[in-house]
Amino acid sequence: MDTSLFLLINHRLQNNVLDTLMFFVTNKSYILYIVIVVPLFFKDWRKGLLVFSLCAVGFFTADGIGDILKHLLARPRPCHELQSVRLLGDCLTSFSFPSGHAATSFAMASIIGHYSRRAAVPAFLLAALVAFSRIYVGVHYPSDVLGGAVLGCATGGFIIFLHQWPARHL
């Protein structure tokens, strides 16, 4: 099922517009998060700075945990297992599960969504688009991005919990 869904997304949905969009999203998604987070600075700069800082912590935490899991689980990328992968870019040498892009995107979306209801939907839509792009460009299976999304949401929730814990217990 994972391979079938991968091939459907990687081959059947292929077109020039999506090729350009997905290549941009998969490589430059951080720019789009800045577009979502930075407007928070204009309403309340302290809250914007807090969200930006927590997103940075969430990003690096999810990325680090994801790297550890990749080495423990050692799942090959589709471009190393399947002959018919349509790659937009290089076939990476690191392992596949979980998707680091999905993990970091969903960690930031969870944090952004917690602190700004207005930005929650765009942040989660962007995270889903980033996750989808990783399948589309040929470097992750659907279960890799699903695992990354779960890891990212859990990481984001944990960062929020840690940030709020002192206020509740002191």
pLDDT tens-digit readout, 79-94 = 898 888 888 888 888 9
The pTM for the full model equals: 0.90
Q: Is residue 22 part of a domain?
A: no
Whether 12 has a pLDDT exceeding 90, the answer reads no
Q: Is residue 73 part of a domain?
A: yes
Q: How many residues in total does the chain contain? A: 170
169 confidence band (pLDDT: 50, 70, 90) = low
Q: Is residue 60 part of a domain?
A: yes
Rounded mean pLDDT, 115-134: 92
Whether 168 has a pLDDT exceeding 80, the answer reads no
- Full residue range of the structural domain in which residue 144 is found: 36-169
Q: Is residue 15 part of a domain?
A: no
Rounded mean pLDDT, 33-41: 71
Give the rounded percent of residues in the chain with a pLDDT score beyond 70: 95
Q: Is residue 31 part of a domain?
A: no
What total of structural domains would you count in the chain? 1
Q: Is residue 90 part of a domain?
A: yes
Q: Is residue 95 part of a domain?
A: yes
Whether 67 has a pLDDT exceeding 80, the answer reads yes
Whether 118 has a pLDDT exceeding 80, the answer reads yes
Q: Is residue 75 part of a domain?
A: yes
